[in-house]
């Protein structure tokens, strides 16, 4: 089971949880220091809801990135499981949609824990590729797939 890493406009991603601003600033500094984006952000493919990586999403904005590497998933996908961060109990995924999409509210910090099996792949994409307007092939209706993890 492979994952595809796609470049998506930062504006497509919807924050789902509150963040620790200081942690996001530190993360932005770390990413800038490396000069590459290493951890694609898993997002719900239809809505752009960030499954895991709200700090990375915010850091991308702090770095003036216009695009970010993403892995598009579905909450119904058996590779995705969601639990309550504190109790470990299964999390009501419908609540994520209710709060983020309908009520336009963020969930509290560290509400959900997403687990992906198999683990998500890493990337190594120069930040300069994510700052400028995307090449024509990325702006098209069909997003660019940078690479697919071998099966």
pLDDT for 134 equals 52
pLDDT for 99 equals 85
Write down the H helix ranges in the chain: 21-34, 54-62, 93-97, 127-131, 136-139
CB neighbour class for 145 (10 Å; exposed up to 12, middle 13-18, buried from 19) = exposed
CA 44-48-49 angle, 5° bins: 70
pLDDT digits (tens, 9 = 90+) for 101-114: 888 889 889 989 99
Nearest to 95 by CA among 105, 86, 85: 105
pTM here is 0.84
For 69, the token pair is 């590497």
pLDDT digits (tens, 9 = 90+) for 28-45: 999 999 999 999 999 999
Fold of domain 4-132: 3.90.1530
pLDDT digits (tens, 9 = 90+) for 89-135: 999 999 999 888 888 889 889 989 999 999 999 999 999 999 966 55
Domain boundaries, the chain: 4-132
- Does residue 16 surpass a pLDDT of 50? yes
pLDDT for 150 equals 45
pLDDT for 133 equals 62
pLDDT for 107 equals 84
């Amino acid at each position: 089971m492979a994952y595809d890493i796609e470049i998506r406009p930062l504006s497509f991603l919807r924050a789902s949880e509150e963040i620790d601003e200081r942690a996001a600033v530190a993360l932005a500094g770390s990413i800038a220091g490396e000069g590459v984006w290493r951890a694609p952000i898993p997002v719900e493919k239809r809505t752009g809801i960030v499954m895991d990586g709200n700090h990375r999403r915010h850091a991308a904005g702090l770095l003036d990135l216009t695009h970010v590497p993403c892995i598009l998933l579905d909450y119904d996908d058996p590779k995705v499981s969601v639990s309550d961060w504190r109790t470990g109990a299964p999390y009501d995924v419908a609540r994520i949609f209710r709060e983020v999409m309908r009520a336009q509210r963020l969930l509290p910090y560290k509400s959900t824990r997403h687990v992906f099996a198999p683990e998500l792949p890493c990337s190594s994409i120069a930040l300069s590729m994510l700052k400028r307007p995307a090449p024509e092939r990325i702006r098209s209706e069909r997003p660019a797939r940078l690479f697919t993890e071998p099966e």
